[in-house]
Amino acid sequence: MENADAVTEIAGVMKKAGLVWLSWNGGRPAPAWFATVDGQYVVLADAAGSAEQPLPGLATAGMAQVVVPAKPATNRLASWTATVRRLEPGTDEWTAAAQVLRTERLNAAGLATQLDRWQTEADILVLEPTGEITETPGRYDATPRAEAPIPTSATTRGKAPITLHRPIRRRPKLS
């Protein structure tokens, strides 16, 4: 596929996505919300352990695999390869990307200081398509993607609580 055709196809699938799954350096895929700024795809990556989107190591990865989920999100719509480029805080390009990301950031805390925090605690990264589309409808990688859950201290709850207004099953009386 020619690079211009690939970029057009990627733009078409990215319009349908609210988030993407990113994997880099052979790591586990991570969900990431993104914004389109002047035809470029930008993500905000937590750099200092703040409350933003944790994507550790993405800023220095150089390359990433982008998986665009279909709706419902149980399927993949497409997958493509991107180069990762960090925007330098304070530049016009960084400011433009930050303004768009700010408007698309859901449930943001501390809006008054958000851009200042991003300059010191986060990286704004551009995902630039390389022109390599690895999966499209009808052409998917058959590799199983099931993985063990990430270890956690969380536990499952015990017996479900009694719910009001639920019919009680009674055993029939034996005569």
Residues 3-135: name the CATH superfamily: Electron Transport, Fmn-binding Protein; Chain A (2.30.110.10)
State mean pLDDT over 86-112.
Answer: 85
Compute the distance between CA of residue 55 and CA of residue 49 in angstroms, rounded to an integer: 10
Domain ranges of the chain: 3-135
State mean pLDDT over 103-132.
Answer: 83
Question: What's the pTM?
Answer: 0.76
Map tokens 């398509």 to a residue.
Answer: 129
Yes or no: say if 65 and 58 are a contact pair by the CB < 8 Å rule. Answer: no
State mean pLDDT over 65-81.
Answer: 82
What tokens appear for 76 in the block? Answer: 């993949």
State mean pLDDT over 123-149.
Answer: 80
> In this predicted structure, what is the pLDDT of residue 161?
67
Q: When comparing pLDDT for 73 and 7, which is higher?
A: 7
Q: Is the pLDDT of residue 1 over 60?
A: no
Q: Is the pLDDT of residue 157 over 50?
A: yes
Q: When comparing pLDDT for 38 and 64, which is higher?
A: 64
